[in-house]
Amino acid sequence: MLISVIIPTFNEEKVIGECYTRLVNVFTRHQLGRYELLFVNDGSNDSSPEILKELAARDSHIRVVTFSRNFGHQAAVTAGLHECIGDVAVIMDADLQDPPEVIPEMLKIYEQEKCNVVFGVRIKRKGENFFKIQTAKLFYRFLNFISNENFPLDAGDFRLVDKNIITVFRSLPEKNKYIRGLIGWLGFKQCPVYYERDSRFAGETKFPFRKMLRFAAVGLFYFSKKPLKLATNIGFLSIIIGLAFALFLFLNMIFKFDYVVTGWTSTIIIIIVFGGVQLLTIGVLGQYIGSLFDEVKGRPEYIISGKINFTDSSNASDEQKEQK
C-alpha cells in the first residue's frame, strides 16, 4: 500500500525541515511501507520554495507542487488530492500542530474498522487562547445546528482518506471548497481518532481572525439553505410587528391612549429596526449570489506553476526536466 501525505505549505520556512524529519522518522520507525510526501507550495514568498527544492533533490519520496500565487489552504489540499498517487492519503498541515505520530494510529483504525475515512478529533488544543478555542467549538456546533448535514465536532482537515474518497472528491466541481464538510457529505464509513493538538512548532499562524471568519462563511453558506429561510422568517416577523404597531397607533388616534411619545423617537426606532432587517436579508442573499458568481465564472481553483519529482514528463517542471 502506498501512503500519500499531503502537506499544504505557505511561508513555513521555519518548520518544513522539522516536518520532513518527523514524517520520515514515523514511516521508518513504524515500518509503514511505501510513501510519498506531497508538499503543495501555496505561493510562499519566503525561502520555503528553495527548502522544498533542496529536500526533493536528495529524497525522491518528496514531490512538490507549486502554485503561481497564494490560492488558499483549501485549494492547496484540493491540489494535493488531485495530484497524489497513494492508495490512501493523509492530510496534515506543515506547522506540526497535528502531530505526524498519529498517522500509525490512523492506519491501524483504517485497517481494523475497514473504513474509508479516519478523521482526527481534538481532545485538547495546546498553544491556543481561550477565545479561539471557544469560538471554534461554537462554530462547529452552530454549523451542525444550521446545516442540513451532521459534521463531526472538533474535527479539522487532519484525516486519512482512501482511494474511494479521493476518486469521488476529484469529480466534485465546486471551486470554493469546505473540504472537511465535503468529505463528511460524501458519506461512506468514517471513524474518529482522538489526539491532543500541539502548539505550532514555529512561526505565526496563517489563519488570523479575518480568515477564520471567511472560512466559516464558506462552510455555512455552502452547506445550508437555512440562512435563507431565517431571513424569510425574520421578514415575516418584521411585517407582523409592523402591522401590530400600525394597529396600535391607529387605536391610539381613536381612543387617545397617549402611550406614544410625541416626536421622532418612535419613527427613528422603526426605521432602524426595519432597515437592519432589510440589510441583513440582502446580505444573506448577497453571500449566496456571490458564491454562485464564483462558481459560474468557471475559473480554475488554482494554477500550478511547477512540479518537482513527478515522473510524467508532460507535467514536469523545468527543473525536473533539466535533472532528467
Task: Report yes or no on 237 lying in a domain.
Answer: yes
> Do 163 and 259 reside in the same domain of the chain?
no
Q: Which residues contact 316 (CB under 8 A, 6 or more apart)?
A: 307, 310, 324
Compute how many other C-beta atoms are within 10 angstroms of the C-beta atom of residue 264: 9
C-alpha cell at 169: 472528491
Return the SS3 of 125: strand
Task: Give me the tens of pLDDT residue by residue for the chain, a chain 324 residues long.
Answer: 899 999 999 888 888 988 899 999 999 888 888 899 999 998 888 888 999 999 989 898 999 999 999 888 888 999 999 999 989 999 998 888 888 998 999 999 998 989 999 988 887 766 555 556 666 666 666 666 666 666 666 667 889 999 999 999 998 888 778 787 788 888 889 888 888 776 554 555 555 556 666 666 666 666 666 676 676 677 777 777 777 777 776 777 677 666 555 555 567 667 766 777 777 777 777 777 777 776 777 778 889 988 988 875 434 434 433 333
> Do 315 and 252 reside in the same domain of the chain?
no
Task: Report yes or no on 216 lying in a domain.
Answer: no
Domains of the chain: total: 2
> Do 163 and 42 reside in the same domain of the chain?
yes
Task: Report yes or no on 133 lying in a domain.
Answer: yes
Which residue type, as a one-letter code, is found at position 82? H
> Do 58 and 116 reside in the same domain of the chain?
yes
Task: Report yes or no on 31 lying in a domain.
Answer: yes
> Do 288 and 304 reside in the same domain of the chain?
no
> Do 64 and 166 reside in the same domain of the chain?
yes
> Do 53 and 84 reside in the same domain of the chain?
yes
Q: What is d(CA 321, CA 307) in angstroms, rounded to the nearest whole number?
A: 10
Kindly report the CATH number assigned to the domain that includes residue 101.
3.90.550.10
Helix (H) or strand (E) holding 63: strand 62-67
Domain of residue 248 covers 226-296
> Do 11 and 125 reside in the same domain of the chain?
yes
Q: What is d(CA 101, CA 26) in angstroms, rounded to the nearest whole number?
A: 6
> Do 168 and 111 reside in the same domain of the chain?
yes
Closest CA to 62 of 93, 26, 36: 36
> Do 165 and 254 reside in the same domain of the chain?
no
> Do 51 and 151 reside in the same domain of the chain?
yes
C-beta separation of 277 from 288 below 8 A? no
Task: Report yes or no on 195 lying in a domain.
Answer: yes
- C-alpha count within 13 angstroms, C-beta hemisphere, residue 163: 6
Phi, psi of 304 (to 5 degrees): -95, 125
